[in-house]
Structure 1
Amino acid sequence: MARLRSVKEGLGVGENYAVIAFGDAASFCLDHFLKPTNASRLCALVAYYPATIPDTRSRFPPSLRVLTHLAGSTVDVTTVPTALGLQGKKRRRTRQINPGIGTGERLNIGFPTYTYEYVQPGFAEHDLDEYDRLASELAWTRTLHVLRKGFGKDLDLEGRWEEHQEGKFFSSNLSTTMDHYATHLTPTVTYTPTLTGGIGTNSLRRFYEQHFLRSLPPSMRLHLISRTVGVDRIVDELCASFEHTHEIPWMLPGILPTNRKVEIILVSIVSMKGGRLSSEHVYWDQASVLVQVGLLDPKLVPQGVQGVDRLPVVGGEAAQRMLREDPETDDEFHNRLIRRANAQGKSKGNDEKASMGSGVDSKVEATNNEGKGKSVQREGNAAGPETES
């Protein structure tokens, strides 16, 4: 209690403070700062796995942003019965912690609270056996959001990410690419369909220098479909189109150029720590890529598989669907594989009518998207508007 008072007393005019507490300290803070008089100048309170929480109907002062992370199987809930407007003695009851709603496991109670199934108190502390990396990182993202809202602070994550992309895709500059990675952590990059990338600065430098920057097809164009910027993450949805005229180790390792056109959706999830890149996870439909370069034929079903005459994969149609989104024609893209499978059970004679394209079938439609997106080959031109010399 004395330490909390000392923090508040040392503040200057217009300054606020926040509290992140763990375990029993978190229980104390939740109870103490429930009173508006105790919460003056406190802008955010984050409680990690408290053993006790206030009545689930409690409301904290509107100026205070609160977040609670629950772990384990039970938590004590303190209630204060009232009769005729008078408060009775506090009662404490042990309640089962049931998972919150949705995949995020948020509880529908009076103050923002999340559950973390299958982890125990201590999951966010690196030096404890209970530490869980995934739960800890998820909780930290939520914590950082509350702190930034409380202090009214924002960082330009998007600007740093754009500078990194400029070096990686458009200027092929190794130094610019590497300059934006976190130096106080071990940065990681994983292209998940092929498990290429690197862990650590030295490994990433070798990866970009030997397997990425020199292998981008000159014809590659990138078209940003959507971008979501969070408190410590950026999610990009990109359409990449190119002719497979060069070997691409990070996407098609060991595959010689086929000179075929490829159009694919890339999803990049970037984590930022301290305003720098700490990790990037990139996803795409590798089956679609293999179909388009001629290495996977949907009509070739493995021997021994009964009742299937075509693999449920698509070619460039998937990228085209995401680019055009025409309400009048979109229905022809959706559920075609399902319709074909249903038709197969009814009539073998309708196979060709219901068949799905292999990538070759969609060449006419693909030409509608040619030229769209930003070319990775910029011939040394700097980004941004031209300036007079």
Structure 2
Amino acid sequence: MPTTDLKSKLDAIFDKHVQAELAGDLDGTLSTMAPNPHIVNIPTMLGGQGPQSIRTFYSKHLIGQFFPPDVTFETISRTYSEERLVDELIISFTHTIKMDHMLPGIEPTGRRVEVIFIVIVGVENDKVAYEHILWDQASVLVQLGLLNPEGLPVVGADAVAKIRNPALPDPFFNGS
């Protein structure tokens, strides 16, 4: 089991990185990263490999459009090892801005979104070496009114409700 010191160290490294992203500080964000970082937003395949590609990704597709001002982050769990941390969290926001990293080509809809994210963060020499970011894009698209869930095995914000309350009924099997 990781020590409290290791947890505090990894928390500080990642929190500094996220705060720079949220502040729209390109150079501050890049200063929190290892010399040859990579990022993959898995549902959209957007991100970058290497310092120049990461700089381009952040400057053109993330800084200034990371999340709208009303974003909230609700941590469900955080798991640690010597070289990485894994976050399970709920991110809630109103889609009021362009968000290329998450919704490329989709204009703001003004709709509310709650979605579960899994963020795997690699750490190398006290810097963020990589981020592998996963979320249920179908759930997001249902909430934005861009995907009709009828007849499909997808849900909208009900996925978040089920994480908050696992006793909720299953939407497809009715307890059987």
Q: TM-score, normalised by structure 1?
A: 0.42
Aligned equivalents of 2:137, 2:33: Cα separation in 1:
27
The answer to which structure has the higher strand fraction is 2
1:209 and 2:59 correspond = yes
Aligned equivalents of 1:267, 1:154: Cα separation in 2:
20
For structure 2, the residue ranges without an aligned partner over 5 or more in a row are none
Aligned equivalent of 1:263: 114
Count of residue pairs the alignment pairs up: 173
Aligned equivalent of 1:239: 90
Aligned equivalents of 1:256, 1:288: Cα separation in 2:
17
Aligned equivalents of 1:259, 1:276: Cα separation in 2:
35
Aligned equivalents of 1:175, 1:219: Cα separation in 2:
24
Aligned equivalent of 2:47: 197
Aligned equivalents of 1:230, 1:172: Cα separation in 2:
29
- How far residue 320 of structure 1 moved from its aligned partner, in angstroms, is 2.2
Q: 2:77 aligns with which of 226, 230, 243?
A: 226
- How far residue 339 of structure 1 moved from its aligned partner, in angstroms, is 2.6
Given the superposition, is the C-alpha separation of residues 159 and 311 from structure 1 closer, same or farther in structure 2, using an over 3 Å criterion? same
Aligned equivalents of 1:286, 1:176: Cα separation in 2:
29
Structure 1 counterpart SS, 2:34: coil
Aligned equivalent of 2:168: 332
Aligned equivalents of 1:154, 1:315: Cα separation in 2:
36
- How far residue 219 of structure 1 moved from its aligned partner, in angstroms, is 2.0
Aligned equivalent of 2:155: 314
- How far residue 245 of structure 1 moved from its aligned partner, in angstroms, is 1.3
- How far residue 158 of structure 1 moved from its aligned partner, in angstroms, is 2.0
The alignment-based identity, stated in percent, is 38
Aligned equivalent of 1:180: 32
- 1:150-180: CA deviations, max 9, x gaps? xxx95822211111111112x2211221111
Higher relative contact order (CA 8 A, sep 6+): 2
> Is this contact kept in 2: 1:158–1:229, CA < 8 A?
no
Aligned equivalents of 1:157, 1:261: Cα separation in 2:
31
Aligned equivalents of 2:106, 2:132: Cα separation in 1:
22
Q: Give the superposed CA RMSD.
A: 2.2
The AA in structure 2 aligned to 1:314 is V
- 1:341-372: CA deviations, max 9, x gaps? x7xxxxxxxxxxxxxxxxxxxxxxxxxxxxxx
Aligned equivalent of 1:157: 10
Aligned equivalents of 2:29, 2:42: Cα separation in 1:
20
Aligned equivalents of 2:6, 2:144: Cα separation in 1:
44
Q: TM-score, normalised by structure 2?
A: 0.89
Aligned equivalents of 1:179, 1:262: Cα separation in 2:
30
- How far residue 190 of structure 1 moved from its aligned partner, in angstroms, is 0.4
> Is this contact kept in 1: 2:162–2:168, CA < 8 A?
no
Q: 1:281 aligns with which of 108, 129, 132?
A: 132
Larger Cα Rg: Structure 1 or Structure 2? 1
The AA in structure 1 aligned to 2:31 is D
The AA in structure 1 aligned to 2:30 is M
